[in-house]
Homo-oligomer: A and B are copies of this chain.
Amino acid sequence: MGKYVFSFDSKPNLGKALLGGKGSALNEMTNLGLNVPQGFTITTETCNLFYQKSEVLWDDLKIEITTALKKLENDTGKVFGGVNNPLLVSVRSGAAISMPGMMDTILNLGLNDTTLKALAKKTNNLRFAYDSYRRFIQMFSNVVMEMPLYKFEQILDSVKEKNNYHSDLDLLEDDLLVIINEYKALYYELSDEEFPQDPFEQLSKAIEAVFKSWNNQRAKIYRSINEIPDDLGTAVNIQTMVFGNMGDDCGTGVAFTRHPSTGENQLFGEYLINAQGEDVVSGVRTPKPISTLQTDMPQLYEEFALIAKKLEAHYRDMQDIEFTIEAGKLYILQTRSGKRTINAAIEIAVDLVNEGKITKKEAILRINPKQLDQLLHPNFSSSDIKKTKIFAKGLPASPGAASGQIYFNAEAVLKAKSQGIDAILVRQETSPEDIEGMVNAIGILTSRGGMTSHAAVVARGMGKCCVVGCSEIKVNEQSKTLTVGDTIVKEGDFLSLDGVSGNVYLGHLKATSSKSSASYNTFMSWVNEIKRLKVRANADTVKDAEIALSLGAEGIGLCRTEHMFFAEDRILEVRKMILANNALEREKPLAKLLAIQTNDFYQILKSMAGYPVTIRLLDPPLHEFLPKTDKDIKTLSQQMNLETYELERRIEDLQEFNPMLGHRGCRLGITYPDIYIMQTKAIIEAVLLLKAEKIAVIPEIMVPLIIDSKEFNLIKAQMINEIDAIFCAHQTTTSYTIGTMIETPRACLVADEIAQYSEFFSFGTNDLTQMTYGFSRDDSHKFLQDYLNKQIFEKDPFQVLDQKGIGKLMKIAIKLGRKIKTKLKIGICGEHGGEPQTVEFCHHLGLDYVSCSPYRIPIAKLASAIAVIKSEMGNNS
């Protein structure tokens, strides 16, 4: 047609970038032969030109618009401003990327004092015509002329009040006429101009208004949040109005081509006879299910069902379709991919593959890995959530939904559980001493701490719903209450936690869990076929390991031995070991721990028979294990036969200013070699026991926090020494590997030297992030929110791996390491290992595996498969 304006029936489809999403879809549907109310689109480029040309329409453009209108008049047999059969249009924005509700829409444009009468005559419904005109004046005044809406509503309300009406529907024809006249007077008062009677003037002003709406405040903010470039511009769609409210042979509705909650392959939706679109939404009348249209208008139903199939086949995805019936004629107003639950998404994707409509790879690209979380954990129903006020908001530390009674310490949780109560543990922050309480609670809530705080990490490991850093809540552990503002919640009261949103609700909400379906299993089998990365679990116990296997784990990438130290039967020995004055005093507790640890490793290795299990030697600063309460100190001092003050002095000696940068990790292996030697011995003894039972296991012993090759080699030599002695004593051997975590910046920088001795690398990106940023994960919550608010960070670097900084260090380490050993096995076992973007990055880095908490395994697998497919598509981003 020209440079700026394209009719809906123009060919070929010029695409979303130029026509916007809506314009392109209308063009597409028209070309498919569907009955779309005709019209034309002004391109997004025109919008950009509009801003270059001081925000007025120019002659060339106006000529194209006039030409397009002429064609529309010819096609419809109606006349713009015509006194007999007037053409009315809608004017709508439509950008390339959907920005729902952000920009402006004007309906019924073309109405004036003359066409009003024609409309009334043609529809045989004066009230409808008046009401349409009233709405148009109000919409035009507000949207195009930026007059305040409330002044128009005041007029409407005063008429209703005077007549004692309750609803707009009560307004009579005469009342509407009064309102129309008062509207016009108000328009004149506010603009010093009469309400425009010329439809062309109405149209020009409306188009300008849509263009301007591209840069209104909410649109700008929306783009900034969603990272949509400012120079895309919006298209403007001018479309013939059709009316579903002109009688009983009219109607309007919306339908999904498949069920958006279950994915079932049947039409799902609702409609109203003799109604307009907004009547379906407003709830004034109750819409009917789409199935009854079969009875009401059997022929139209057939027609619609066919169109639905056609559109789904064309777009190769489930569609969300808006339609209107005007005088027995079906019009399709809009179609788009339908929103759906994760269950439906998987069901539909698998069905579409089975129907031969999409490939397995396309099916995989259709599922957002993040959504899988919903599938694996219980959820509150969305209707319940809509009805309930949010009581407080924290960080969504571990997904799931938990509704129960609150308790403020581990003992109380235990007691409640023994009485059959679903308990939620509430703490300011958790420490290792709370573990038992966490195990027995159905959910955990803390007022402090970030996404990688103790509570968050442990809860994710357990797959338990957890909300942390909920700073609005003041927790008083003494008085066993929590308060938000003036509301006090006491021990035993109900709270509901949503671990996906971080929302906390007062009272009890019902949580339901979805089961993995046959389609889910099919889908994951395709994911497994396609992905390259192995996906392992971070698992410290046999229970973790079993959950991980059930979720598809291909080994354990991180077994934290320190978590084994906290159980009641061993913490005392651990404390004795730590607080010993010398190696001699350490001997006895170490011997006891050896027996315990040998069994620990025996069990976990056995549970993962045939799969690699990476066991990390003791890592945290020793003071984490120390007794904190007076009672515990007293118990220990008796057990150790030490005066309390002497014990307290030793505890004091172990305190550190910056424990995260202190005496921990392999530094313990350097200063207290006997601890690592004990652990090594326990692992190898366990492997030999299993060997005797003919159970093949693959142990990988991992040394944490390495900074230098000499350091690693010294520790490795001590370990091999011990292992050789065991082999000698047992007159047998077994295979094992010794590798290191790469979690300090220096380890990355000297990875070539370390690779000379290390048999594998595993990136510990939690610590690597802490040190590279200089961010303590326990303290950074004090400023991290500001960094996100001020858009210094797009994402919390503890949640989504920082590819630019941390990623560069990883690249350096991989390059240096594989320079020495071409096939060096490299993985990642930080909290990032289950985050989709990070998994994709790890795929491109050429890692061998990622390891994550059990419940994130399907997510990581899907992200890995997506990475393969995107790579094949040449999209390496």
Contacts and interface: CB of A to CB of B under 8 A. Distances in A.
Interface string A762-803: 000001001111111011101100110011110000000010
A656 B772 contact: no
Contacts of A657: 659-660, 776, 778-779
Nearest to A809: B749
A705 interface: yes
Interface stretch (A3-11, A139-147, A708-716): A708-716
Interface string A656-690: 11111111010100110000000000000000000
Contacts of A711: 787, 792
A657 B453 CA distance: 12
A660 B708 CA distance: 22
Contacts of A750: 804-805, 808
B714 A792 contact: yes
A699 interface: no
A659 B662 contact: no
Interface size class of A (residues with CB under 8 A): 35 or more
B744 A662 contact: no
Nearest to A785: B671
Given A745-B771, A750-B804, A671 B779 contact: no
A746 interface: yes
B714 A773 contact: no
A670 to B, nearest CB: 5
A364 interface: no
A749 B809 CA distance: 8
A707 interface: yes
Interface string A632-667: 000000000000000000000000111111110101
Interface string A734-761: 0000000001111001100000000000
B772 A749 contact: yes
Contact of A774 (B661, B670, B773, B790): B661
Contacts of A749: 772, 804-805, 808-809
Nearest to A804: B750
Contacts of A662: 776, 779-780, 782
B771 A772 contact: yes
A602 B710 CA distance: 50
A773 B667 CA distance: 11
A461 to B, nearest CB: 20
Nearest to A668: B783
A787 B804 CA distance: 33
Contacts of A786: 670-671
A772 B707 CA distance: 9
Contact of A776 (B656, B767, B793): B656
Nearest to A769: B746
A773 B744 CA distance: 6
Contacts of A775: 661
Given A772-B744, A774-B771, A809-B745, A710 B659 contact: no
Contact of A707 (B658, B708, B773): B773
A708 B744 contact: no
Nearest to A713: B792
A557 to B, nearest CB: 21
Interface string A802-820: 1011101100000000000
A778 B658 contact: yes
**Top 6 nearest A-B pairs by Cβ distance?**
A661-B776, A658-B776, A662-B779, A657-B778, A745-B745, A746-B805
5 contacts: A656-B776, A660-B776, A671-B782, A708-B792, A771-B772
Given A658-B661, A743-B774, A746-B774, 19 more contacts: A656-B778, A658-B779, A659-B779, A661-B771, A661-B776, A670-B792, A671-B786, A705-B774, A707-B773, A707-B805, A710-B791, A711-B792, A745-B745, A745-B772, A746-B805, A746-B806, A750-B808, A771-B772, A771-B774
